[in-house]
Homo-oligomer: A and B are copies of this chain.
Amino acid sequence: MKMTAIISEYNPFHNGHLYQAKIAREETEADLIVAIMSGTFMQRGEPAFSDKWTRARAAVASGEIDLVLELPFYFSVQRADRFAQGGVTIAEMIGATSLSFGSECGDITPFLLAASEKNEETPAYQRLVKEGLSNGLSSATAASQAFHALTTTLDLTTPNNTLGYYYARAASSISLHTTKRIGSGYHDLSVGDIMSATAIRAHYDETHQLTGLPQESASVLQGATFASFDHYYPFIRNRLLSTPLGVLTQFNGIDASLAPRLVEGARYSSTFDDFMTFIKTRRYTRTSLQRALIYLLTSTMTEEIDSVAFDQIDYVRPLAFNDKGRQALRQIKKQIRVISTFEAHPWLIKESQVTAAYAIPLARYDQLEEHRRFAHFSGSSSK
């Protein structure tokens, strides 16, 4: 049984994702497609548009995704390198033969070349990062600029190329495959048959209509609760304004210079948009700020992150699957522990805390509680 893995967010699953999965299936001659999907909060520190079980079901409903496994919180709300590392590790552990990703580039060779160059390990890279930092850039921006300057084989200013690069860096046994992204770019807000997830969410916020999704996926999402930062701002504001500075700086991503800025921003801003405008600087990108706020909302301290053994993934957790996905799980079980119901695994306890932080401001805790949720099976009921 030949599995191809896709590392994804599906926030939500749209026509572009469908297209990518189809091409991946054809070109890698896969028997089935496994998506490794981030759960409750996204890589850029945003609350998921809809809860992870619904998003996973919507992906499987499209007919092109056979199994959705959860990318744990510790990997999902992280910089691209760790996000990629987590996804690739899971893909290799379950025995996927290929990893397919969408990219602006569309050709795998530059990724393999760039990865083999290991530019981040050169003295030139260190020098450029230092320069960037002394020019007031954030460490993330300084790193990406340094990297871009040295990497001439691949355009690393685009988000999907960057992720692909880190997939290539992380891969050891898996074969890599990329499809050229079609339709709108990542941040593009135009409306059409293939829209970006950002455009779909923005369009939904304005019109309360879901567009650009496969019909079956849209049906699953109809009636779901859609989250935005506006739901979380009172909770984040409460934390910021009631927590002593010395405690605030214990949360991951909040340092001694950021903490008072966040508190000031919370004092003066009654909406999340005002707050972001207040706190954003060249040094702190929107993404790094959003991640810090999610760490605060989910009570995630630096100490906790530092103690996580990121190279010790010892389980996978299915969120949704069809008949073929169920067969695949039987095969995967021989390689690694599959957790289908809640267990007191430290990473699942974390997922339950993270999902609670997501669900309570939506008044949906009782529906989304991890202890009561199982993977969704869409298919024939015979075993």
Contact = CB atoms under 8 A, between A and B. Distances in A.
Size class of A's contact patch? 20 to 34
What is the total number of copies of this protein in its complex?
A: 2
Contacts of A371: 267
Contacts of A363: 234
Contacts of A349: 244
Interface in A150-170: none
B356 A238 contact: yes
Interface string A276-314: 000000000000000000000111010010000000000
A354 B267 contact: no
Given A238-B235, A270-B366, A299-B239, A244 B304 contact: yes
A247 B234 CA distance: 22
Interface string A338-379: 000000000001001110110011010110010100000000
A331 B122 CA distance: 71
A263 to B, nearest CB: 9
Contact of A241 (B267, B270, B360): B360
Given A299-B243, A299-B247, A238 B270 contact: no
A299 B242 contact: yes
Tell me whether chain A's interface is mostly helix, strand or loop, or mixed. helix
Contacts of A235: 235, 238
Given A243-B353, A299-B243, A238 B304 contact: no
A350 to B, nearest CB: 8
Nearest to A270: B366
A25 interface: no
B353 A244 contact: yes
A237 interface: yes
A360 B233 CA distance: 10
Given A270-B365, A365-B270, A369-B267, A357 B301 contact: no
Given A270-B366, A371-B267, A353 B241 contact: yes
A43 B265 CA distance: 31
A241 B298 CA distance: 9
Interface string A253-283: 0000000000000010010000000000000
A191 to B, nearest CB: 34
B242 A297 contact: yes
A60 B64 CA distance: 71
Contact of A242 (B237, B242, B298, B369): B298
A360 B267 contact: no
7 pairs of A and B residues whose beta carbons are closest in the complex: A241-B356, A242-B357, A243-B299, A238-B360, A242-B353, A242-B299, A242-B298
Given A241-B365, A244-B304, 12 more contacts: A234-B361, A235-B238, A237-B360, A237-B365, A238-B357, A238-B361, A241-B353, A241-B357, A241-B360, A242-B353, A244-B349, A267-B369
Interface of A: 234-235, 237-239, 241-244, 247, 267, 270, 297-299, 301, 304, 349, 352-354, 356-357, 360-361, 363, 365-366, 369, 371
